[in-house]
Structure 1
């Protein structure tokens, strides 16, 4: 009898899960997606954040390469025009505590490219190296019972009659729009706890042509300040493939960026440091300004459900979504797929009793650190819905603010922050003795009055600036 796994969703979470399943002794691994998938690195409708800035952190990239061995994902992305950016030397970052210095030392890296390029590269790598079939179909429900899921009900994306697709294992990796709670209700399983923390963030993004002479200008970000008692406001200039800059502005409830080009520029110039606005004032825009409001943090505590059916695993944004400002989602998706792989290796069989529950719990543990990072900051913004800072939040906030202040002039403190930001280590790294000592000592160097630009970068900024500043 043929053994099959079905994965719902052809984004990175789904394709990486399919890669894991292809090596689990199954006869078939089928990936379903309601979208018509593009033939190249092009935007598709089913990605609500697809036109906005995405960062693939070093920890997430390492996990992806482990999951698709031999595919050379990093090399593929770089060959297609992605940029490898050092957090220690290749980034200009203004934090709420001041500008971080740039250090001429090896540090964690991240990859920057459009979400379209990353999705397409992962999808093609999995197709080439794994026995995976991708079909266009909409998953509309589960088949089976509260004890065991037996497959999915599918329909054509535009509607039509439903048919069943049997499976020994179903993985829901359908993203922010998941209907897993309704599907579980249909099996008689309810009562899953859900928490939403919504700061009302709106992202506004636009692509620009990189001006001649600015090809090596570092990734530049002015971070929002969660502690000022006013709406979040931030902006980033990020190099992406095709000699372009992807520029994203973000603002929480009451401080949302506008969609008109003039307002977009004014918004960037009005930040605590106008560097992003100054850069883009002399750059050629290639697109309109695109807005997205699909940014809330949502945690589905599926791991705590009183009962869980055999044969169902939930990964990626279907398990938990994060405010995209923190650049964690794609890495967490990779960690979840890796957790599934570990549980499959231990069980030795995709239909083993208890596998699905163990996989969901293991994937949930990989969510914890990212959830803490996002929510512990978002709860401080005025007008946030779904949370208020607890006493523990305030203690952690006081410590991380002091560490960030130290990091403006301390390599030891900055290194700890980079290790956690890059998702190479857990937040426990912030409490190692060297990090604690650096935090208590404070910055040995004075605060920078302006961005740490090289003379050549300063000339580039001056040449681009059309604002007269």
Structure 2
């Protein structure tokens, strides 16, 4: 996605070649080059708005294909580490569909541009040029034939396993400083066919993992997708890796901090295998700290790969592509001096989501981190206090969710009125699970068989 959207950003100024190691399917189905496609995905409001600027009309096309919009928190039953959220209107939202559908619609729209060419079943195997200027790439196709592609600008969008740091070192650039914070997260996901008769606006459900307890984090998410289907992702940290067998999957869902998702999938029909996903560490490469050579820019997960649990990867790809387009426009094309300006602009997009993700992940047990600075107990207490107040205070919740949706400044949380509410602390009793679910009549009677009382530990 980062590569296709970068191609869109550049196509108004130049002919663009996308080098794709996979082959694109003709329909929205899983593909080899998208191993994370089996798991839940969401486009945050900020990413959706960036997409619309890059590809006008794309939001309507996604809706027509079956994507669903859900407001945060009013369209999503949410239990944070500090309690159940009250249902209040908010301008924050997410766009939900399978990753296969999202990619398919975006590709068909973006690659219709005659200035964009795609080389499929072709891998980049190195950069050409020098420490002062990257002049192109060396590629190898499916028949093992090699060639060199010359370019005025090379954009690395090869993801978290990018080899660009090594290739730049070969040219005499670097090393690239890389920061890794691994909270030990793992996924297991499955697609279900929703029971008949549910409302079209059926909400999402999120049971967040609780950090800072000294115990492994456990959570689950149920997201409505196209075609009256749900994608259910179970997630846990070291010591609580979600299983991939039938019995274990159902048991883990019931052992999260509330069994509502287990209750829902017990009346739904599974329509896929259970797929695991590992290797979810936060990873950031500080290219902007280097004397970046002319002709090279890193974007998407190649620049900063957040823990997918926070749902910002696709949205950051869109926001970075928009920043790339705007930087090229201000620079009046792909000219000398562009690469450094563009890399700094993309790094600024990555900063706030990076801080949010790694701050949270540092508080799970057995975190592995090479970060120079780590959050301390006072930061954990502040995060917990903000989350607890946001669960009941609409103004604070608006700031929190728009920050998470990349559509507002994270500093909005500390606006005077919000800061006063945070300092004052919660003023309302926390919702029980029964009260939280009663806020969503969209559930209908699908939970009629569920526990009548909150299970142990689920009342707050």
TM-score (norm 2): 0.94
2:179 matches 1:195: yes
Q: Pick closer, same or farther for the CA change 1:14–1:390 going to 2, 3 Å.
A: closer
CA offsets, 1:267-316, max 9 Å, x none?
A: 010111111111101110001110010311111111111x3211011100
Q: What is aligned with 1:121?
A: 105
* SS class of match (2:347): helix
Q: Does the 8 Å CA contact 2:136/2:152 hold for their aligned counterparts?
A: yes
Distance 1:173 1:389 in 2: 26
Distance 2:107 2:276 in 1: 26
2:276 matches 1:261: no
Q: Pick closer, same or farther for the CA change 1:303–1:147 going to 2, 3 Å.
A: same
Q: What is aligned with 1:213?
A: 197
Q: What is aligned with 2:287?
A: 302
Q: What is aligned with 2:350?
A: 367
1:457 CA drift (Å):
4.6
Question: Which of 226, 229, 234 does residue 214 from structure 2 map onto?
Answer: 229
Q: Does the 8 Å CA contact 2:180/2:371 hold for their aligned counterparts?
A: no
Q: Pick closer, same or farther for the CA change 1:129–1:346 going to 2, 3 Å.
A: same
User: Which ranges in structure 2 are unaligned for 5 or more consecutive residues?
Assistant: 456-460
Distance 2:301 2:377 in 1: 27
Q: Pick closer, same or farther for the CA change 1:259–1:466 going to 2, 3 Å.
A: farther
1:379 CA drift (Å):
0.7
Distance 2:66 2:114 in 1: 24
Q: What is aligned with 1:323?
A: 307
Q: Pick closer, same or farther for the CA change 1:388–1:138 going to 2, 3 Å.
A: closer
Q: Pick closer, same or farther for the CA change 1:291–1:391 going to 2, 3 Å.
A: closer
User: Which ranges in structure 1 are unaligned for 5 or more consecutive residues?
Assistant: 1-11
In the TM superposition, 1:53-68 aligns within 5 A as 53-68=40-55
2:160 matches 1:176: yes
2:76 matches 1:91: yes
Q: Does the 8 Å CA contact 1:150/1:168 hold for their aligned counterparts?
A: yes
Give the number of equivalent residue pairs: 450
1:338 CA drift (Å):
1.6
- Alignment RMSD (CA, Å): 2.0
2:6 matches 1:17: yes
Q: What is aligned with 2:265?
A: 280
Q: Pick closer, same or farther for the CA change 1:63–1:445 going to 2, 3 Å.
A: same
Q: Does the 8 Å CA contact 1:174/1:317 hold for their aligned counterparts?
A: yes
Q: Pick closer, same or farther for the CA change 1:245–1:148 going to 2, 3 Å.
A: same
CA offsets, 1:240-283, max 9 Å, x none?
A: 01110000000111110000011101101011111111110111
2:133 matches 1:148: yes
Q: Does the 8 Å CA contact 1:316/1:332 hold for their aligned counterparts?
A: yes
1:443 CA drift (Å):
2.8
Distance 2:321 2:32 in 1: 24
* SS class of match (2:33): coil
1:458 CA drift (Å):
5.6
Q: Which runs of 4+ in 1 moved over 3 A?
A: 387-396, 454-459, 463-469
Q: Pick closer, same or farther for the CA change 1:452–1:467 going to 2, 3 Å.
A: closer
CA offsets, 1:172-219, max 9 Å, x none?
A: 111122111111122122321111111121100000001113344310
Distance 1:224 1:257 in 2: 12
1:442 CA drift (Å):
2.3
* SS class of match (2:36): coil
2:400 matches 1:411: no
